[in-house]
Amino acid sequence: MILNTGNRTDIPAFYSKWFMNRVHEGFVMVRNPFAHNLVSRYVIDPKVVDVMVFCSKNPTPMLKYLDELKKYRMFWFVTITPYGKDIEERVPDKDKVMDAFIEISKKVGPKAMSWRYDPVFISEKYSKEFHYKSFARMAEKLEGYTKQVVISYIDLYEKTRKNFPEAKEVDKADQIEMTRFFVETGKKHNMTIRLCHEDKELARYGADVEGCLSKKVLEEAIGEKLLIRKTADARQGCSCLLNNDIGAYNSCGHLCRYCYANFDRRLVEANMAKHDPNSPLLIGDLEKGDVIKEVEQRSIIDDQIALF
């Protein structure tokens, strides 16, 4: 199975000690975000966890644990954008994040690393020219440490509109122009540009539009064939494998204004205050009335076929 850690919060940045406690104890519990008293229990063991997928804006706290995790296959998404504290309030210096990216890549290999440059939006301060200059500089520094870059143009979810009311969507003409630039720059630095949940017509300009965490992407990353049964898309038109997430919404301390996973600052701070590194749950602990379900887990590695 694939164990996801980053669709709902940034576990490497804020909860690395908790995560490693879960690895040591061999299990983790996850509260259903839509039914509070329903709790899923996952075993954490390389016999059934084929890939750990991390998604972070600051993976630095996890660096000291990489050797300990080497018995697991890992795939890392690291989001590195050019925005300042006005947009990404608590994200650390981007050069330090890139340094951490490079250090992880040296451990797990560039195929297991994905740089996320998203979401992309345009404003007076963050113009297209600003993006072009910033993206080119970052791509030059990360060359050789990743094979792919994930780009997405901002989606104005309800939570995003609430926390970032001045945000505007990127129109089609600008998407085409920017995609062409990203693809051209990516080629210079040996990086494939993958678009995340964008118009498939943008493939005409050289971008890969088939998903950023698809079966194909993971197989290329880990060098193994995966036996994955067809399941419902995570969202319409998205082929990414996003199930089995052990995070919790409204618990990411970066407080990025465009975030879809946080509702507001007060709720985030209240939830983070409930965090106990020794609890099986990310936020809080088990409660009276909780119903615990053991998740059926199995390896999805096809031992009969090796890609490499």
Chain segment 258-286, per-residue pLDDT in tens: 998 999 999 999 999 999 999 999 999 99
Q: Report, as an integer, the average pLDDT of 168-191.
A: 96
Q: Which residues of 33-49 are buried (b: 16+ CB within 10 A; e: fewer)?
A: eeeeeebbebebeeebb
CA distance 22 to 193: 34
Cα angle 250-255-256, degrees, rounded to a multiple of 5: 115
* Cα–Cα distance, 110 to 141 (Å, whole number): 13
Structure tokens at 121: 């939006």
User: In degrees to the nearest 10, what's the CA dihedral of 18, 19, 24, 29?
Assistant: 90
pLDDT band at 307 (very low <50, low <70, confident <90, very high): very low
pLDDT tens digits, one per residue of 214-257: 888 999 999 999 998 755 445 555 667 878 999 999 999 999 99
Q: Above 70 in pLDDT, residue 29?
A: yes
Sheet holding 291-294, edge to edge: 27-32, 35-43, 291-294
Question: Measured between alpha carbons, how far is 156 from 150 in angstroms, rounded to an integer?
Answer: 18
Backbone angles phi, psi at 249, to 5 degrees: -65, 160
Strands 224-226 and 301-306: antiparallel
Cα–Cα distances in angstroms (integers) from residue 259 to residues 52, 73, 81, 134, 305, in the given order: 23, 28, 14, 21, 40
Give the burial string for 126-142 (b: 16+ CB within 10 Å, else e). Answer: beeeebeebbeebbebb
Question: 206 and 180 in contact (C-beta within 8 Å)?
Answer: yes
Torsion-angle region of 284 (φ positive above 0: left; ψ -120 to 50: alpha; else: beta): left
Per-chain mean pLDDT for the chain: 93
Number of residues in the chain: 308
Considering Cα of 216, then 143, then 205, then 241, what sign does the dihedral take? positive
280-304 mean pLDDT:
94
Residues 63/76, Cβ–Cβ less than 8 Å:
no
**Hey, where are the domains in the chain?**
2-306
pLDDT at position 237: 55
Bigger pLDDT: 195 vs 212: 195
The pLDDT value recorded for residue 308 is 46
Q: If you average pLDDT over residues 174-201, what whole number do you get?
A: 94
Please tell me the predicted confidence (pLDDT) of residue 236: 53
Question: Do 275 and 283 touch, CB atoms closer than 8 A?
Answer: yes
What count of other Cβ atoms lies within 10 Å of the Cβ of residue 77? 20
Other Cβ atoms less than 10 A from the Cβ of 163: the count is 19
